Amino acid sequence: MARFAILAFGAASYACAMAVILYSICFVGGFAPRSVDAGGPAASSALEAVLINLVLLGVFAVQHSVMARREFKAVWTRIVPQSIERSTYVLAAAASLALLFWQWRPIAGSVWSVGDPWSTVLLAVFWIGWGIAFLSTFLISHFDLFGLAQVWAAWRGAARPEPAFRAPLFYKVVRHPIYVGFLLAFWATPTMTFGHALFAAAATGYILIGAWLEERDLVALFGQTYLDYRARVSMLIPRPPKRG
């Protein structure tokens, strides 16, 4: 019975995460009634909107960073089974993002607004960014990242293999192509409202901090192998890898 519960929890967490990710595309792109630019609760002032939005972004950033750290996992897995640790993280991330989408306060006014052909170019970059981010999860291990591989192993009663370092395709030119995809998607918009700019700027700051924290964990996990990789390949700006 426990195996069924673990598998069901992992599948439900994955489904929630995929639904939130799909909605996030609509939220950032302005394709939903409630998006970064429209809908949502009204704020009494621009300052109130900024403060509330920063709190919402902070909730996601803290959850997403703290629960991903090795130190937190060591404590957390004394409470929840190891097999659902990742699924719990994924579900919590989906919940914090859903809260952000639900309570986000749009802020009127625009930083820039362009027409064709630049609007078409920016929309193309927007979709390319999401494509890079999503494809990059499959290049390493999509189902590991979202917890399905762990619950499936628990269902089968199989031991999980030790993580192996790989750097396929996009990872040969940047160390964090998922983040690069997000940055392209967040900033590429024909109309950059003040609310959208706040979202993109805060997300960029979080990505820089998150990448630094993630690299600490990767060095601890892979040691010299990752240090050599870091010396050859840039973090976020694509460029030919250094020899060595």
Note the pLDDT tens digit of each residue in 11-22: 999 999 999 999
> According to the model, what pLDDT value does residue 48 have?
95
pLDDT range class, residue 1, cuts 50, 70, 90: very low
Return the percent helix, strand and coil in the chain, to nearest 5: 70, 5, 30
pLDDT mean across residues, the chain: 92
Is 129 within the bounds of a domain? yes
Where is pLDDT greater, at 141 or 55? 55
Work out the burial of residue 58: count CB atoms within 10 Å of its CB; fewer than 13 is exposed, 13-18 middle, 19 or more buried: middle
> According to the model, what pLDDT value does residue 126 have?
98
Query: What's the whole-number mean pLDDT along residues 34-56?
Result: 92
Is 243 within the bounds of a domain? no
Is 131 within the bounds of a domain? yes
Is 240 within the bounds of a domain? no
CB atoms near residue 135 (< 10 Å): 15
Is 108 within the bounds of a domain? yes
Only one residue has tokens 């639904």, namely: 19
Domains held by the chain: number: 1
Is 100 within the bounds of a domain? yes
Distance CA 139, CA 180 (A): 14
Question: Can you give the residue range of the structural domain that contains 125?
Answer: 2-232
> According to the model, what pLDDT value does residue 56 have?
96
> According to the model, what pLDDT value does residue 244 have?
58
Is 241 within the bounds of a domain? no
The DSSP string of 28-91 is HHT-SSSSSSS-SPPPSSHHHHHHHHHHHHHHHHHHHHHTTSHHHHHHHTTTS-GGGHHHHHHH
Is this prediction's pTM over 0.75? yes
Is 244 within the bounds of a domain? no
Weakest mean pLDDT among 23-32, 45-54, 99-108, 234-243: 234-243
> According to the model, what pLDDT value does residue 40 have?
83
